[in-house]
Structure formats: C-alpha cells, structure tokens
C-alpha cells in the first residue's frame, strides 16, 4: 500500500474496533454458522488479577531467613482431621485435582497416579468413575461424587481414601458438563451406561439433594456408607466463597476444595468459562475469614485450585490461608499437553500449541485428552508419571525457597503479612497492602 | 436453609397442648437449622385489644415500665407480659398505629416482632431446644402455630434474620429454600410502602404476601401469585389469624410433608418431625404438589 | 433373627453391624425397630439379607444397596435406594422425592405413591410404583424400567436416554425428547413378569410405553429450544 494516493492525500490506517474485535467477529460468524454456543475445555483465558500481582517480602534485618537446603522447611499436610478416622497425610501441599476418565485416557490417569505417588501426594477421580489404572497407581485416591454419578458404585466408594462431593467447579459454577459424542467410546459408554457416540449432558445439580440442610444429610449418608473412616471433602466453585465455606462446614465437611475461575474443565460453554465466577486470588481471603469466624481454620482444611502453575503460586495461596493447593491444567501440561513438539498437528486442527482447548473432541495430538487408540499410544504413562513427579518436586522446592526466604520452617507458617500487592486490584482482592504502602482498598485507612 | 414445622388444630381439645406438640416437632428439625429458631403462635385473641410482640437486647431495662410508659404516651391502658427477651403488650386495637409510633420514640431499640389480634412471635439465636426452653413454648396453648429452625445462608445469624417474619397484622411466613430475585423485589416492595428490615430473602417473601393481601388478595390468591412472581426455590408456610397455608415452587426440591387427621393439619420438612403427634400412624400423610397452594381456615 | 431398636441403639451401630457382613454369603435376617424417620438407615449393605424396617424411614434409606432384600413397613424419605446396585427394596407406604436416583440395578417396589423426580438419572434399576408419581420422573434416565400403575406428573422422562417408562394412568405431560412408543410382545412379557414379582394388581395390556425420541442425542440447531 502506498503512503499517498494519486492526489497526494495520506493513506489512513484502517482502524479495528475495540468492541467488534477480530476475536469477537469470528465468534459471531461461528455462532451464525453453527447455531450452538462454543464448547471448549480449560479455564478462563481472559486476564484476571492473579498471584502474579503479589510479591513476597524476604527476610532482611528485622526477619531472619532460613538457610536453603540445610535448615528444614516442612511441607507435609494432614487432610481430614475433623471427623474422619483415617485422615490423609501427604508429603507436599499440592494435590492432583479431579479429572475424569473419559476426558482423559486411561494411560493419562495412570500417569497422574504414578507422578503423584512418587511425589507423595493424592490424585482425584472425575465424572466417570474409578478406573483400575488409577486405583492401581494411586496410593491416595480421592473419589468424586458428582451430580451425574457416572460410574458411581459402593465398591469404589469403599476403596477410596477420601470422598469429594463436587458442588461446583471454578470453570462453570452452577453449570453442568458436556462431553461430545466423539469421545463416548465403547469403554466410556460402558462405564457411564450411555449409548455410544452421543453428546453427553451432565446435570448441574445433584439428583438427590439441594441446599446446605440436605447436603448435611448427604454427608451423613456418605459417612455411614464409609463407616466414618475417610475424610469427606466438599468442592465448591469460587462464587460466594464466604457463604459457601460456612455452609460446607455446617454441612459437615472435613476439607473444603475451593476452585477459582481459572480452574479448568473437560468441556463446557465458553461463555460460562469466561463470564462466571471469581478469580482464584479473590476467593481465598473470604473463605479463610469464614473458617476463622467459625474457629475452623486449619481444623477444616482448605485446598485452593484454579490457575496454580508455579511454586510461587503455591506459596502465595498458602500465605493467604490455604492448607494445600490442587493442580489440574498444569498437571496435564507437565504430562505433555499442548507441547510445541506437536505444533504441526495442532495447526492441522486449526490451532497452535498452548491454545489447544478442544479437549472434548478427543483429537489431542499429545494422546492425553483422547480415547482414540492411535493417539493414546503416543503417550507413555511411565514417562508421563516421571515428568509429573519432577514438576511436583519443582513446585515444592520453589515454595520452600520462598518460605525459607521469609524465615518459615513450614509452608503453613506463611502469612498474608509476608506479601505485598503490585496492583490496586490485587491489593483489594488479596487484602494485602499495595507495595510500599500500608493500605489496601477495602480497608478503612484512607 | 432450614427446617419448618407447622400445626393447625381442628380439635379444640388439643389447643392446650399446641406448644408442647410444636416444641417436639421443632427440636426434631435441629440439624436442618442449628443457628436460630423461632415460632409464631396464634392464641388468646379477640375483643378490642391487639397484641404487640416486642424483642429487646436489653429487656430488663426496656420492659420494666413499658406498660405505663406506653400507656401514658398513647392515653390508654396497656398491659405487658414479659417472656425472656420478648414481651407481649396488649393495646386497644384502635390505638395500635399510635402505639407503634410511640414505641419508636420511647423505646427506639426495641424491635417489633409481630402485631395482631392473636399472633405472637418469639425468635432468638441458638439451638431450637434452647430457644423453645427460654420462652417456655411447651406451656403455650393456641389454635395454630408455625416454627422454624434456621441454617443461615447469606444473611447473618441474628435475631432479626431468624424466622418467622411478620410484615402484616396477624400474618407470618417461614421459608425453606433460596430466592433468586429478592433484591429486585425488595426494592419494588419498598416503593410500594412495605417495611422490610433485613437483607433476608424470606422477609421479602413475607412482605410480598402481605402486600398482596393488603391490595385485596385473599391468602390463597396471594400464595398463588408467589408462584409467578417469586423466582427461586421455596417452601412457604404462612399463618393468618384463622388460617394456615402452604405453597411450593414449581421445581420443588426442598422437602415438604404434610399430615392430616380429624384433629389437625401438620406440616414439616421431614417426616420425623411428625412421629410424636397423636394418631400419626393413621393420619393421611402426603407431599404437597409443586406450584400448588394449600390452605386451611378455621 | 437380629433386632436393632433405634430408640436404644445408634444408627452407627446398626449400619456397622450390617457392614460387618460384607463379604459373607450366608443369608441373615434383621429387624429395625423405631426408625422414626431417621436418615441413612441400612445404607451400603452388601450381603444377602432380609431386613425389615418397622416404620417410616428418612432420607437415603438403603442407599447403594447390594444383594439385600429391604422391606420398609412405613414410608420413605427422599433419595430412597439412591444408587442401588442390586437386591430389592419394598416400601409399603409412599416414597418421597428422588426415589431410586441414579440406581444401577435391583428392584424398587413402592406400594404407595412416589413424588417428584422418581428414578432421576436411573442407570439400570427397575422401579415399580403402585400409586402415582410426581413431576420430572426419570429426568436424564439412562437405562432400566419405570412402571407406574397410577398417573405420572409433568415432564415424564425429560432428556432421557434409553430408560423405558410404562404408565397405566394419565401422564400430565411428557418431558423434552420423551415420546409415546408402541407396546411390543417383549414389553408385555417384561411387564407380566415384573407385575407378578411385585404383587401388582394390573394387566400388562393396560400400560402405555414411553421412551426417548433420541432427538437430543446429538446436537441439532433445530432442536435448540429443547435445551
């Protein structure tokens, strides 16, 4: 394009709309062509205030640091100390979040078990029941009770080391799931008792209870079913964390799992993922306040999930009051999901490494979120497990590094006061002061 | 989120036992609502007097001379009967509005729980058995009564947030469920002149029913219109001077069970609240249908 | 014969005694006195037994049952036989909402009425209701059979998969993707057997069959209003 036209008038640069962006326009065209909302996997992709907006205050003169690698900084955590006869003790405060067989291949579930075992932590089933691969390779396995109850049976319930009643997921608080036909293979169909090849709808409410008063009775039932042996977790999406935490405690939870909006899902409506729920950063303080008001902080353990990627994220979540964190998406990436080595194949699917989120379509080039035998064969569960173990070790070492720098002999001793915020948003959400000041929005200091 | 119990007597010979029967039902619903409890009881009414049930955090001081003070203020004879943190004042019915205004001046911190010819409301924070004991509910007789045990969801644990709610003379409402359009409806009802004191969704339900009745609906019609206008999940049980009504939302996930014999009609969130009622083994026991109004009148 | 009186013994000790039998094969007999609407009575049994509950039960009675024959002499609260795998549950009175929710197998025999969401998300169980059922019965029902001698409420079989419904009386309305089906000889045979087994006073020919129209199995924009 020339800078001037034939009359010598300067050419103006065509201006793209900030409202009707190229992204927005392509969504409109897609909707017009298909008549159905976009369904995808993963968590919120939009930018939200996050742990990246917090910094630790290392030790200096007023505080003394611990010597790295020599002076101990413990990482173990016991989950389920309130009512269960057999609480779960894990070596690191990082657990593997619930992901279903169906969404993941059997080999991927096996790799999660292998990695978690080697790192001394637990894994979690998902919507679709418990597979032998998973039980066999996970020494500590949390069994989810979900609204659809696919694959739910009392034998597996009694084999579990903890039970997690899933009320909500950060990716879709108040919504159900969606697994499109391509992935309902013979084995998935048989485990879920569904016709092969159909679109599977998952319900948004449990079939046999609604509300905290009935949840309390549901918890009692599961305690009776499992003879009060194992911890009962209640997983909630980050929407009204203060109220929901209180109600989960009243309903009898041993452990609360709190999942923010960056938390992933196998598949649901994009509009849900991007427009419902709270950023993880903003969920933790209200939940911890609820626990403290009930004198239940550290007595009912709080596991936070949704966008945990690094040891810094782990340490920050714990400093805000979490007892542990859970990872899902990051674990899949550690196994090899979205690896640039498959770039050519991602391009064939119309996407690129890092952006691939059509996990429900079952075409995952990395062989993880698929039920296709040929794609699955690309994934080696032993190697995958080793990679996950390495990643978990790094997360732990990083978190310890930060904790030692703050003078802590246990990750649990990190406090909100060990941090500052880089942005007003993060300061308000995490209720820690803006860096270099002594105030944060929402506190009566100005 | 809660437990509800209600008992509407048809047989006068049971009236002296109303409080005793209701207390047993209420205490059975403790797990459903351990935060606070309350009852509305209809009794000893009629004549030219109306009752004001009051609650105070500072009852010794507030209630010591309230009968004389209020009597002086409105120029009428007022009698008062204290019951723990509550007191029931008897005021000539034609002076009731005057009494309300005077109270806000002479006892600004005292809360009005209910107003009416026969209704009395008692509610406090605490376990249902303790709340029932402090007011000696089991010694109360009456024609009908509604009780509620509360597990607070979004509004706080306080006396004012406890149920029942009364927003009209001799009217009360309790609720189990969760309303999803109560904020908008609260604003609308306030514009219509209804007084709503809390952020509690149930109080909006109560005010809605009172508003409907104030504008000409019968209790039955008011309950019918909750199905169209109130969004969310609810079981409402309401009381009026001589009536008792029940309505459930169309989805009807919150539990509700009813029992009827020649002697009474009873409502509860769970069957186990009925087990000590006389003749329950031969009662007609059923679940109220969704989006269907039930009511009984004396 | 083992008798447990819930007036004097705890629910926990009852259920623990029943669970202690898991893995045994000898058939035992149990009676539970004074249930008084308590929750989770006989939840999680997995051994052959006859167990009689002498009164009305609360939520989740005999949930996840395997092998046992459970008889409730009164009524049952919400979630009766929730996620049952096998065995039978018989209720002399009514069942509250969500009876047989997500149940995979066995037989649930309700002599009275059942209320909302009977057989919700059923996954293989057979349910016979001698009276009538409430709304949203067998919502998302995957497989198994729901037989109703009386009437069905609104939205029967909404969003169902391969579960089958047989109703003798009126159906107030059918749910999304549920339709009337023809009765074939195999359905008459099935009904004949199950009516006999449940002591039901009805003839197979009096029933109408309903099931999935299978239009929601794979998304089609023209059916979007049903979502």
Buried b (16+ CB within 10 A) or exposed e, B127-159: bbeebbeebebbebbbbbbbbbbbbbbbbeeeb
CATH topology of domain A39-430: TIM Barrel (3.20.20)
pLDDT for A177: 62
Q: Measured in whole angstroms, how far is the alpha carbon of residue A364 from the centre of its chain?
A: 20
Interface test with B, best of A211, A214, A239, A252 (most B CBs within 10 A): A211
Say whether residue C100 is in contact with chain A using an 8 A CB cutoff: no
Contacts of C204 (CB under 8 A, 6+ apart): C187, C188, C189, C191, C192, C195
Residue B21 structure tokens: 């029967």
Q: What is the mean pLDDT of residues A44-58?
A: 97
Task: Please report which residue ranges of A354-440 form alpha helices under DSSP H.
Answer: 373-376, 381-405, 424-430
Q: What is the mean pLDDT of residues B137-159?
A: 92
List pLDDT tens digits, range B31-48. 999 999 999 999 987 778
User: Closest Cα to residue A159, out of A182, A125, A184, A190?
Assistant: A125
Q: Are residues A211 and B1, on separate chains, in Cβ contact within 8 Å?
A: yes
Mark whether B166 and B254 lie in a shared domain: yes
Rounded distance between C-alpha atoms, residue C93 and residue C34, angstroms: 16
CATH topology of domain C2-218: Pectate Lyase C-like (2.160.20)
Rounded distance between C-alpha atoms, residue C71 and residue A194, angstroms: 31
Contacts of A186 (CB under 8 A, 6+ apart): A196
Q: What total number of domains does chain B contain?
A: 2
Question: Is 50 exceeded by the pLDDT of residue A445?
Answer: no
Is B123 a member of any domain?
Answer: no
Rounded distance between C-alpha atoms, residue B41 and residue A66, angstroms: 66
Residue B252 structure tokens: 């009807």
Q: Partners of A368 in the beta sheet?
A: none
- Beta strand extents in chain C (DSSP E only): 2-5, 28-33, 49-54, 69-72, 88-91, 107-110, 123-129, 143-148, 164-167, 178-181, 208-212
For chain A, report the end-to-end CA distance as a whole number of angstroms.
55
Residue C45 structure tokens: 């049994």
Q: What count of residues does chain B have?
A: 298
Question: Is 80 exceeded by the pLDDT of residue A180?
Answer: no
Q: Measured in whole angstroms, how far is the alpha carbon of residue A407 from the centre of its chain?
A: 29
Interface of B with A in 2-31 (CB under 8 A): 2-3, 31
Q: Are residues A247 and B176, on separate chains, in Cβ contact within 8 Å?
A: no
Mark whether B34 and B49 lie in a shared domain: no
Element (H, E) at B178: strand B171-179
Question: Is 60 exceeded by the pLDDT of residue A415?
Answer: yes
Question: How confident is residue A181, by pLDDT bands cut at 50, 70 and 90?
Answer: low
Burial class (CB in 10 A: 0-12, 13-18, 19+), C182: exposed
Element (H, E) at A301: strand A301-305
CB distance C177 to C195 below 8 Å:
no
Q: What is the mean pLDDT of residues B213-242?
A: 93
Q: DSSP label at B271?
A: G
Give every residue of chain C whose pLDDT is below 50, as ranges: none
Rounded distance between C-alpha atoms, residue B120 and residue B82, angstroms: 12
List pLDDT tens digits, range A95-113. 999 999 888 999 999 999 9
Q: Which domain holds residue B79?
A: 45-117
Rounded distance between C-alpha atoms, residue A392 and residue A92, angstroms: 8
Share of chain B above pLDDT 90, in %: 88
pLDDT for A446: 45
Question: Is 60 exceeded by the pLDDT of residue A73?
Answer: yes
User: Closest Cα to residue A36, out of A244, A167, A199, A219?
Assistant: A199
Query: Which residues of chain C does A194 touch, with a Cβ-Cβ cutoff of 8 Å?
Result: 142, 161
Q: Nearest C-alpha of chain C: how many angstroms from B259?
A: 13
pLDDT for A90: 98
Q: Are residues C221 and A34, on separate chains, in Cβ contact within 8 Å?
A: yes
CATH number at residue B81: 3.30.70.3400
CB distance B194 to B204 below 8 Å:
no
Per-state percent for chain B, helix, strand, coil, to nearest 5: 35, 35, 35
Question: Is 80 exceeded by the pLDDT of residue B235?
Answer: yes
Q: What is the mean pLDDT of residues A50-68?
A: 93
Chain A residues within 8 A (CB-CB) of chain C? 34-36, 148-149, 152-155, 157-158, 180-181, 192-195, 197-199, 201, 203, 207-209, 214, 217-218, 220-221, 224-228
CATH number at residue B218: 3.60.20.10
> 3-class DSSP state for residue B40?
strand
Prediction pTM value: 0.94
Q: What is the mean pLDDT of residues B202-208?
A: 93
Element (H, E) at A419: strand A419-421
CB distance C32 to C52 below 8 Å:
yes
Burial class (CB in 10 A: 0-12, 13-18, 19+), A182: middle
Mark whether B273 and B286 lie in a shared domain: yes
Element (H, E) at B166: strand B165-168
Question: Is 50 exceeded by the pLDDT of residue A407?
Answer: yes
Rounded distance between C-alpha atoms, residue B97 and residue B77, angstroms: 15
Is B252 a member of any domain?
Answer: yes
pLDDT for A67: 87
| Residue B172 annotated to the active site | no
């Amino acid at each position: 394009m020339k800078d001037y036209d034939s009359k010598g008038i300067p050419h103006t640069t065509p201006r793209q709309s900030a409202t009707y962006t190229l992204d927005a326009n392509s969504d409109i065209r897609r909707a017009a062509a298909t008549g159905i909302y976009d369904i995808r996997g993963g968590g919120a992709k939009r930018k939200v205030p996050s742990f990246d907006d917090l910094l630790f205050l290392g030790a200096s003169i007023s505080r003394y640091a611990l010597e790295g690698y020599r002076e101990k900084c413990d990482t173990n955590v016991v989950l389920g100390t309130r009512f269960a006869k057999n609480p779960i003790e894990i070596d690191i405060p990082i657990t593997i979040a619930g992901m279903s067989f169906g969404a993941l291949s059997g080999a991927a579930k096996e790799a999660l078990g292998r990695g978690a075992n080697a790192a001394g932590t637990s894994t979690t089933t998902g919507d679709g029941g418990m597979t032998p691969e998973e039980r066999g390779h996970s020494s500590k396995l949390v069994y989810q009770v979900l609204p659809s109850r696919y694959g739910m049976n009392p034998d597996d319930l009694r084999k579990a080391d903890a039970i997690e009643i899933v009320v909500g997921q950060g990716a879709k608080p108040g919504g159900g799931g969606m697994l499109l036909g391509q992935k309902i293979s013979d084995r998935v169909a048989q485990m879920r008792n569904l016709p092969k090849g159909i679109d599977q709808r998952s319900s948004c409410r449990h079939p046999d209870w609604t509300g905290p008063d009935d949840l309390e009775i549901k918890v009692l039932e599961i305690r009776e079913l499992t003879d009060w042996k194992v911890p009962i977790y209640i997983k909630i999406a980050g929407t009204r964390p203060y109220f929901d935490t209180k109600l989960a405690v009243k309903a009898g939870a041993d452990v609360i799992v709190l999942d923010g909006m960056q938390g992933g899902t196998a598949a649901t409506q994009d509009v849900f993922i991007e427009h419902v729920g709270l950023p993880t950063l903003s969920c933790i303080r209200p939940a911890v306040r609820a626990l403290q008001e009930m004198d239940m902080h550290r007595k009912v353990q709080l596991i936070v999930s949704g966008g945990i990627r690094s040891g810094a994220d782990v340490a920050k979540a714990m400093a805000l009051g979490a007892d542990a964190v859970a990872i899902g998406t990051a674990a899949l990436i550690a196994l090899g999901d979205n690896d640039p080595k498959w770039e050519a194949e991602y391009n064939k699917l119309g996407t690129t490494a890092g952006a691939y989120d059509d996990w429900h379509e079952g075409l995952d080039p990395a062989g993880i979120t698929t039920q296709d035998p040929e794609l699955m064969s690309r994934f080696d569960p032993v190697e995958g497990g080793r990679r996950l173990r390495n990643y978990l070790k790094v997360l732990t070492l990083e978190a310890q590094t930060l904790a030692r720098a703050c003078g802590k002999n246990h990750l649990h001793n990190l406090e909100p006061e060990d941090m500052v915020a880089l942005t007003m948003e993060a300061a308000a959400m995490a209720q820690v002061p803006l860096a270099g000041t002594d105030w944060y929005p929402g506190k009566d200091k100005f | 989120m809660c437990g509800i119990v209600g008992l509407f007597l048809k047989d006068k010979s049971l009236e002296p036992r109303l409080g005793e029967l209701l207390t047993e039902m209420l205490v059975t619903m403790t797990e459903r609502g351990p935060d606070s409890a309350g009852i509305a009881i209809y009794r000893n009414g009629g004549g030219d007097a109306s009752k004001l049930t009051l609650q105070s955090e500072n009852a010794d001081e507030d209630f010591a001379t309230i009968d004389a003070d209020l009597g002086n203020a409105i120029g009428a004879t007022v009698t008062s009967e204290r019951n723990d943190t509550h007191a029931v004042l008897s005021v000539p019915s034609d002076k009731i509005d005057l009494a309300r205004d005077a109270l806000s001046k002479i006892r600004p911190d005292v809360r009005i729980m209910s107003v009416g010819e026969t209704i009395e409301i008692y509610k406090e924070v605490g376990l249902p058995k303790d709340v029932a004991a402090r007011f000696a509910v089991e010694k109360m007789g009456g024609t009908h009564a509604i009780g509620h045990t509360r597990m607070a969801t979004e509004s706080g644990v306080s006396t004012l947030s406890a149920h029942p709610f009364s927003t009209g003379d001799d009217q009360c409402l309790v609720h189990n469920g969760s309303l999803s359009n109560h904020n908008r409806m609260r604003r609308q009802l306030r514009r219509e002149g209804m007084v709503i004191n809390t952020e509690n969704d149930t109080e909006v339900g109560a005010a809605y029913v009172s508003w409907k009745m104030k504008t000409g609906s019968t209790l039955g019609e008011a309950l019918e219109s909750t199905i169209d206008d109130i969004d969310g999940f609810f079981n409402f049980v309401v009381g009026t001077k001589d009536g008792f009504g029940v309505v459930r939302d169309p989805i009807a996930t919150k539990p509700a069970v009813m029992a009827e014999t020649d002697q009474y009609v009873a409502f509860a969130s769970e069957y186990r609240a009925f087990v000590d009622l006389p003749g329950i083994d031969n009662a007609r026991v059923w679940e109220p249908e969704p989006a269907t109004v039930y009511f009984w009148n004396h | 014969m083992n008798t447990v009186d819930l007036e004097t013994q705890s629910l926990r000790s009852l259920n623990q005694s029943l669970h202690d039998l898991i893995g045994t094969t000898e058939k035992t007999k149990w009676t539970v006195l004074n249930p008084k609407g308590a929750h989770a009575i006989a939840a999680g049994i997995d051994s052959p037994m006859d167990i009689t509950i002498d009164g009305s039960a609360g939520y989740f009675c005999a949930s996840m049952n395997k092998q046992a024959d459970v008889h409730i002499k009164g009524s049952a609260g919400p979630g009766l036989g929730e996620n049952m795998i096998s065995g039978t549950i018989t209720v002399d009175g009514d069942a509250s909402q969500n009876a047989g929710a997500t149940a995979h197998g066995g037989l649930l025999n309700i002599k009275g009425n059942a209320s909302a969401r009977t057989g919700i998300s059923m996954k293989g169980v057979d349910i016979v209701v001698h009276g009538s059922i409430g709304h949203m019965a067998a919502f998302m029902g995957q497989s198994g059979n729901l037989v109703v001698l009386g009437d069905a409420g609104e939205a029967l079989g909404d969003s169902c998969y391969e579960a089958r419904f047989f109703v003798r009386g009126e159906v107030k309305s059918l749910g999304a993707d549920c339709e009337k089906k023809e009765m074939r000889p195999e359905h008459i045979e099935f009904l004949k057997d199950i009516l006999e087994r449940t002591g039901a006073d009805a003839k197979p020919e009096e029933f109408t069959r309903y099931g999935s129209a299978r239009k929601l199995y794979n998304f089609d924009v023209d059916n979007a209003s049903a979502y």
